Structure 1
Amino acid sequence: MSEHRLTLDTRAARNLATTTKTVPQMQGRTPRWLLRLLPWEEARGGSYRVNRRLTYQVGDGIVTFVNDGARVRVIPAELAELPPLRDLGDPAVLEDMAGRFAQREYEPGEVIVRAGRPVDRVVLIAHGKVARLGRGEYGDETQLGVLADGRFLGERALLGSDEEWEHTVRALTPTIALVLPAADIGELTGRHAALEEHLAAYRDAPRPATDKNGEAAIDLAAGHEGEVELPGTYVDYDPSPREYELSVAQTRLRIHTRVADLYNDPMNQVEQQLRLTIEELLERQEHELINNRDFGLLHNADLRQRIPTRTGPPTPDDLDELLSRRRGSKFFLAHPRTIAAFGRECTRRGVYPGVIGRDGARVQTWRGVPIFPSDKIPISAAGTSSVLVLRTGSAEQGVVGLRRTGLEGEVRPGVSVRFTGVDDKAILTYLVSVYHSAAVLVPDALGVLENVEIAR
Structure 2
Amino acid sequence: MTTATDPATTAAPSATSLDTAAARNLASTTKTPPQMQGISSRWLLKILPWVQVSAGTFRVNRRLSHTVGNGRVEFVSSGAQVRVIPAQLTELPALHGLTDQELLTTLAGHCEQREYGPGDRIATLGDTVEEVLLIAHGKIRKLGPAAYDDAAELGTLADGDYTGDEALAATGPTSWPHTLKAVTRATVLALPLARVRAVADVAPALRDHLEAVAAATRDAPARNKRGEADIALAAGHTGEPALPGTYVEYDLHPREYELSVAQTVLRVHTRVADLYSEPMDQVEQQLRLTVQALRERQEHELVNNREFGLLHNADLRQRIHTRSGPPTPDDLDELISRRRKTQYLLAHPRTIAAFGRQCSARGIYPQDTEVDGVRLRSWRGIPLLPCDKIPVTAAGTSSVLALRTGQENQGVVGLHQTGIPDEYEPSLNVRFMGINDKAVISYLVSAYYSAAVLVPDALGILEDVEI
TM bucket, shorter chain: over 0.9
1:301 is aligned to: 314
SS at the partner of 1:293?
coil
Q: 2:458 aligns with which of 445, 451, 454?
A: 445
Is the 1:392–1:399 Cα contact (8 Å) retained in structure 2? yes
CA deviations 1:84-132 (Å, max 9, x no partner) are 1111232221111111111111111111100011111111111111011
Aligned to 2:24: 14
Q: CA deviation at 1:25?
A: 0.8
2:99 matched to 1:89?
yes
Alignment of 1:106-125 (within 5 A): 106-125=116-135
Q: 2:159 aligns with which of 108, 126, 149?
A: 149
1:353 and 1:139 map into 2 onto residues whose CA distance is 29
SS at match of 1:12: helix
In structure 2, the partner of 1:211 is 224
**Which shifted more, 77-86 or 420-429?**
420-429
1:190 corresponds in structure 2 to: 201
Match among 19, 43, 50 for residue 53 of structure 2 = 43
Task: Summarize the alignment of residues 112-261 of structure 1 with structure 2, pairs less than 5 Å apart.
Answer: 112-159=122-169, 161-205=172-216, 206-261=219-274
The question of whether the paired residues in 1 share the 8 Å contact of 2:69 and 2:90 is answered with no
Cα-Cα RMSD? 1.2
- Aligned to 2:424, the other structure's residue is in SS state strand
Q: Which residue of 2 aligns with 1:56?
A: 66
Which moves more between the two structures, 116-125 or 195-204? Answer: 195-204
In structure 2, give the amino acid aligned to 1:165.
W
The structure whose Rg is larger is 2
Counterpart position of 1:23: 33
Q: Distance in 2 between matches of 1:292 and 1:77?
A: 24
Identity of aligned residues (%): 60
Encode CA deviations 1:126-160: one digit per residue, 9 max, x unaligned: 11110110111125211110010111111133235
**Rounded Cα–Cα distance in structure 2 between residues aligned with 1:254 and 1:183:** 68
1:377 equivalent to 2:377? Answer: no
Do 2:58 and 2:256's aligned partners in 1 also have CA atoms closer than 8 Å? Answer: yes
- Decide whether the 8 Å contact of 2:68 with 2:96 is kept in 1: no
Q: Does the 8 Å CA contact 1:409/1:418 hold for their aligned counterparts?
A: yes
* 1:52 counterpart SS class: coil
The one-character-per-residue Cα deviations of 1:157-206 (angstroms, maximum 9, x if unpaired) are: 32352221111111001011111223323322222222122212221222
- Counterpart in 2 of 1:319? 332
Contact 1:119 1:156 in 2 (8 A): no
Mapped contact 1:80–1:86 kept (Cα < 8 A): yes
8 Å CA contact retained: 2:346, 2:386: yes
Letter in 2 for 1:267: M
Between the aligned partners of 2:101 and 2:284, the Cα distance in structure 1 is 60
Matched, 1:334 2:347: yes
Gaps of 5+ in 1: none
Q: Distance in 1 between matches of 2:155 and 2:172?
A: 24
Q: Which amino acid aligns with 1:121?
A: E
User: TM-score scaled by structure 2?
Assistant: 0.95
Distance 1:89 1:357, change over 3 A: closer
8 A contact 1:316–1:346 mirrored in 2: yes
**Runs (5+) with no aligned partner, structure 2:** 1-10
Give the secondary structure class of the aligned counterpart of 1:285: helix
Which 10-residue stretch deviates more, 439-448 or 176-185? 176-185
Which moves more between the two structures, 251-260 or 438-447?
A: 251-260
SS at match of 1:314: coil
Deviation at 1:59, TM superposition (A): 4.2
4+ long deviations beyond 4 Å:
none
Q: Which amino acid aligns with 1:262?
A: L
SS at match of 1:444: helix
Q: Per-residue CA shift, 1:238-269, capped at 9, x if unaligned? A: 11101000011111111111111111221111
Residue aligned with 1:24, SS: coil
Q: Which moved further from structure 2: 38-47 or 116-125?
A: 116-125
Q: In 2, distance between residues paired with 1:432 and 1:181?
A: 57
| Aligned with 2:114 (options 100, 104, 123) | 104
The 8 Å contact of residues 158 and 199 in structure 1, kept in 2 or not, is answered as: yes
Q: Find the aligned partners of 1:85 and 1:376 in 2 and give their Cα distance.
A: 36
1: distance between equivalents of 2:394 and 2:73?
23
Query: What SS is found at the alignment partner of 2:129?
Result: coil
Structure-2 separation of matches of 1:283 and 1:263 = 28
Q: What is the TM-score when the length of structure 1 is the normalising length?
A: 0.97
Q: Which moved more, 1:293-302 or 1:176-185?
A: 176-185
Cα deviation for residue 361 of structure 1 reads 2.5
Deviations 1:286-332 (A, max 9, x none): 11111111111111111111111111111111111110110111101
Contact 1:76 1:95 in 2 (8 A): yes
Q: Is the 8 A contact 2:429 2:447 kept in 1?
A: yes
In 2: Cα distance, 1:380 partner to 1:417 partner:
36
